[in-house]
């Protein structure tokens, strides 16, 4: 894998993870009456600055992903999307104050191990 291709994949996945963090923050800050209709609730969520920011991060991440795919085989690039599981968990802990269980840490270690095997064994 070319260093530039890996950098594009990493940036794309990081922006997607950041987008998820924005989504979680956004839905937690939006308030609406429980009696509000589906359209009103959806608009409240979609117009949240945090949700809009998350969508923007996803958009930029998608463009970077397209550039990465020009450099790297899809079958090698796509498994690295699994890094998002690790990045989102880290973001949840660092930004949102969530906690990690031992099983989540072990699962993330397995993901990282698998990605390292793929990267080395290309």
Residue 9, both tokens:
């994949």
- Percentage of the chain beyond pLDDT 70 is 98
pLDDT for 1: 61
Interatomic CA distance for residues 12 and 10, integer angstroms: 5
29-63 pLDDT, tens digit each: 888 777 788 888 888 889 999 999 999 999 999 99
Given a cut of 80, whether residue 122 has pLDDT beyond it is no
pTM score, two decimals? 0.84
Interatomic CA distance for residues 1 and 91, integer angstroms: 26
Interatomic CA distance for residues 64 and 102, integer angstroms: 33
Domain ranges of the chain: 3-120
């Amino acid at each position: 894998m070319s260093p530039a291709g890996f950098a594009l994949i990493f940036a794309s996945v990081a922006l997607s993870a950041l987008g998820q963090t924005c989504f979680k923050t956004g839905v937690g800050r939006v308030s609406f009456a429980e009696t509000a209709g589906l359209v009103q609730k959806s608009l409240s969520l979609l117009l949240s600055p945090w949700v809009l920011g998350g969508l923007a991060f996803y958009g930029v991440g998608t463009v970077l992903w397209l550039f990465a795919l020009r450099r790297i085989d899809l079958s090698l690039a796509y498994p690295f999307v699994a890094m998002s599981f690790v990045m989102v968990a880290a973001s949840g802990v660092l930004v949102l104050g969530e906690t990690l269980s031992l099983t989540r840490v072990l699962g993330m270690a397995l993901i990282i191990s698998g990605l390292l095997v793929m990267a080395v064994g290309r």
